[in-house]
Structure 1
Amino acid sequence: MNDQQMNQLLKMAGHLFRPNPWHGVSTWSDQAEKEINAYIEIVPTDRVKYEIDKETGYLKVDRPQKFSNVIPALYGLIPRTYSAEKSAKYTMEQTGRDGLFGDADPIDICVLTEKTISHGDILVNCVPIGGFRMLDGGEVDDKIVAVLKDDAIFGEMKDISDCPESILNKLKHYFLTYKEIPAEGQKAKIEITGLYGREEALKIIDLGIEDYNDKFSTEWFVNKAND
């Protein structure tokens, strides 16, 4: 079974069963316009961190938020992406660092919108405008920044340079502090090495798609089905 046949099979299965949002949903909602689907796990009103269960595709509780860390945007993953060798190699080239590796997760995405969306476990159509190059220890953990398509406030933004600095600072502060445990005096080993624009974000997404295709071949899915 080739990739085209695999995509057709996934599409047919999606009409009968709920697809796993990571594996069963297309990355692009409109590839020509570079618009993507994003699966949203948590929203700014959440006081619990939800995360996709990679085996089943259901949303699960990862951990309660113990402190006042509030994500200032919709937050989730880009379907059919993965952070592994190619993503890590590119990041090492861009940063001059050695010994980095992908975090073995889908690429994360923040989606800006003026609307109050009350819960996650949804798909949204969005437009990437840039991202943060983030390292978590030695792991490559980029955060793509996008805007909800046709959003009344953010929808006209085409590049990260169009985004107010105050919003970017809020996102940056969240990611630099959300794993800290103040009561225990522990600081997370997270650093943001740079901010990049739309073209770079699309490059990161393309590398994530390549890493995904390298990891999750048709043979992998067949073997998984036979387990």
Structure 2
Amino acid sequence: MRDFLKPVAAVLFTHILPESIHRAHNMNFSIEERGNPNTLSYRLYFKNSDGKYISPFHDIPMYADEAQNIFHMVVEVPRWTNAKMEIATKDPLNPIKQDVKKGNLRYVANVFPHKGYIWNYGAIPQTWEDPGHKDNDTACCGDNDPIDVCEIGNKVCSRGDVIRVKVLGVLAMIDEGETDWKVIAINVDDPEAKDLNNISDVRRLKPGYLEATVDWFRRYKVPDGKPENQFAFNGEFKDKDFAIETIKATHGFWKALISQQTNAGELNCKNTCVSEGDGPFCCSADEAKAVVDGSCPCGEASPVPNSVDKWFYYAKN
């Protein structure tokens, strides 16, 4: 057990329904689009199999199968696309929306030879990288988000897909002084999943992919005028066991968050399935519906700016 798990495990959790954290059998999720795609109004809300609006941050269980260490992944960005979509951790029900910088929608640059994101990119629900916790390995605090996942299977997923993934390893990126773990995983339904069981299998069966992943994360902000990102462990990937312990630690931090053992700050922790009815984070079905009904109705997509297709070239440091 990684050392930062121990204090979290000792916390007394209140106002949480534990079965809603771990039970995930036969769970199906659907999405509801609101607003106009490629505009500031666009939102993607989630429902469970009962048609109940849920938070993808809090209400989707981390585990799809705890005994097999199979995790849920919420796909925010399909492979080859550029729009920087993410779970809106500070908004009611935490829909997926496009990140905004200085009033403009954010798109990741194409830094040659990469086109958009080179994996299906998303997050593991019920995890949180605590900005108040300094990691012993990285010497940096968390980035205040759910833990990120790069899914390396063959299928190009769709935005809002909730898939079951097998964890293979993890990369410790340092983003502007914050720890920003990048979990490497594969969809359990991928035909190659049976052959990929650890990070060494990725290196052997998908040569160049891990090196490209480090290169992508190192350089993707440079066209925006930012310095190259840094990494702990000299940019080496840690193996499956280390990755799973890291995910479990971020789940512990999330538990502390949702049970008010940790100050949520600006995060919106309202949920419809996890917190008990008398808890301050409990959101009724009517409240959840009102949130969605209060958003813009679904409309026509706006065109994506031509600049999104530009390729950036620069010599590596």
TM-score relative to the length of structure 2: 0.61
Query: Any idea what SS the aligned residue of 1:205 has?
Result: helix
State yes or no: 1:198 paired with 2:240. yes
Contact 2:147–2:247 (Cα < 8 Å) also in 1: yes
User: Structure 1 regions of 5+ residues with no counterpart?
Assistant: none
State yes or no: 1:115 paired with 2:155. yes
* Distance across 2 between alignment mates of 1:155 and 1:36: 16
Determine the structure 2 residue equivalent to 1:51.
86
Query: Any idea what SS the aligned residue of 1:195 has?
Result: coil
Between Structure 1 and Structure 2, how many residues are aligned?
216
State the structure with more CA Rg: 2
Query: Any idea what SS the aligned residue of 2:53 has?
Result: coil
Which residue identity does 1:61 align to in structure 2?
Q
Q: Any residues of structure 2 matched to 1:199-218 within 5 Å, and which?
A: 199-217=241-259
Query: Any idea what SS the aligned residue of 1:207 has?
Result: helix
Query: Any idea what SS the aligned residue of 2:76 has?
Result: strand
Per-residue deviation, 1:5 = 5.9
What percentage of residue pairs aligned between the two structures are identical? 21
* Distance across 1 between alignment mates of 2:229 and 2:120: 24
Contact 1:50–1:61 (Cα < 8 Å) also in 2: yes
* Distance across 1 between alignment mates of 2:108 and 2:125: 25
* Distance across 2 between alignment mates of 1:39 and 1:115: 15
Contact 1:80–1:209 (Cα < 8 Å) also in 2: yes
Query: Structure 1 residues 42 and 3, CA, compared in 2 at 3 Å: closer, same or farther?
Result: same
Determine the structure 1 residue equivalent to 2:219.
177
Counterpart selection for 2:124 from 66, 72, 78? 78
Counterpart selection for 1:124 from 156, 163, 173? 163
Counterpart selection for 1:168 from 210, 230, 243? 210
User: Structure 2 regions of 5+ residues with no counterpart?
Assistant: 1-13, 25-46, 100-105, 262-268, 271-278, 288-317
Contact 2:258–2:281 (Cα < 8 Å) also in 1: no
* Distance across 2 between alignment mates of 1:189 and 1:116: 26
Query: Structure 1 residues 130 and 103, CA, compared in 2 at 3 Å: closer, same or farther?
Result: same
Query: Structure 1 residues 189 and 157, CA, compared in 2 at 3 Å: closer, same or farther?
Result: closer
The Cα offsets for residues 102-158 of structure 1, whole Å up to 9 and x where unpaired, read as: 1111000111111233x2111011100111011113211110111110311244211
Per-residue deviation, 1:190 = 3.2
* Distance across 2 between alignment mates of 1:124 and 1:189: 28
The structure richer in strand per residue is: 1
The structure richer in helix per residue is: 1
TM-score relative to the length of structure 1: 0.83
The structure with higher relative contact order (CA 8 Å, sep 6+) is 2
The Cα offsets for residues 40-84 of structure 1, whole Å up to 9 and x where unpaired, read as: 100123121111222233221221234445221111000000011
Which residue identity does 2:190 align to in structure 1?
D
Query: Structure 1 residues 157 and 217, CA, compared in 2 at 3 Å: closer, same or farther?
Result: same
